[in-house]
Amino acid sequence: MSTGVFIISAPSGSGKTTLVERLLREVPQLLFSISYTTRPPRKNEQNGRDYFFVSREEFEKMIAEQGLLEWAEVFGNYYGTARRFLEQARQTGQDLLLDIDIQGARQVKEKLPEAVTIFILPPSRQVLEQRLRARSQDTEAAIARRLENARREIHGYVSYDYVLINEDLDQSARCLRSIVLSERARRNGAAAGTAAGEAEKARPIAEACRRERLVRQIQPILESFGG
């Protein structure tokens, strides 16, 4: 069985973390790559679970030693994917799941053109703003900053294979699961890993999430962010 690489990107507040956690619970044989970062841990974050939190010196050493599959500077901090996660996935016959930004996705696609990319969009600017307020984790200034970042980041969807418009969490979770199962079946044949019936059911759901199929739904979202 060949190793599949799935890349998920999204502006913050689009529900990415919840969707990734659900995917990992629901689909077997998926290895989540825990990134390295130089940003300080937030409350509730654990070293080695959410990220590996390292100093700038340690990070720069990893770059110099070619230990990273990709890396980028996001909001003034370094973030990167360790090469060893890809090696581990290959050795254990799992697929690899990366939660990384657009710059990282581009680098991985250059090295591994068969990697599957998925972009999560909020249904509109208004919904994103409501969600950011509802989780009451940010100050007004931070909410304004996140909305401004989202406005810039959403245009990145154009280079992704699939787009999830996260209106309904259950539906988005089903689409995400279907993308992984259908891509897996395409790569390995339906018999490997998943029951053939399951892969067959997954295919049309995944196909409906292809970026080029969603142009009309994406347009009003871009407009809600001011084009």
Residues making contact with ligand 5GP (CB under 6 A): 9, 12, 35, 39, 70, 72, 74, 79-81, 99-101, 103-104
Which residue's CB is nearer to ligand 5GP, number 49 or number 213?
49
Reading the block at residue 7, the tokens are 């890349």
Q: What own/partner pairs with CB < 8 Å and gap ≥ 24 does 88-95 have?
A: 88/31, 89/3, 89/5, 89/31, 90/3, 92/31, 93/1, 93/3, 93/29, 94/3, 94/29, 94/30, 94/31, 95/3, 95/4, 95/5, 95/6, 95/29, 95/30, 95/31, 95/180, 95/184
CB of 213 to ligand 5GP, least distance (A): 24
CB of 101 to ligand 5GP, least distance (A): 4
Question: What's the DSSP call for residue 51?
Answer: B
CB of 57 to ligand 5GP, least distance (A): 18
Which residue's CB is nearer to ligand 5GP, number 37 or number 194?
37
Helices (H), the chain: 16-26, 56-64, 83-92, 102-111, 125-134, 140-153, 169-188, 196-207, 215-224
Which residue's CB is nearer to ligand 5GP, number 35 or number 94?
35
Residues whose CB falls within 8 Å of the CB of residue 14, separated by 6 or more in sequence, listed in order: 120, 121, 122, 128, 150, 166
Which residue's CB is nearer to ligand 5GP, number 52 or number 203?
52
Which residue's CB is nearer to ligand 5GP, number 74 or number 127?
74
CB of 108 to ligand 5GP, least distance (A): 9
CB of 50 to ligand 5GP, least distance (A): 8
CB of 166 to ligand 5GP, least distance (A): 15
Which residue's CB is nearer to ligand 5GP, number 80 or number 193?
80
Q: How many residues does the chain have?
A: 227
Q: Which residue is nearest to ligand 5GP (CB)?
A: 104
Closest CA to 178 of 211, 140, 214, 204: 204
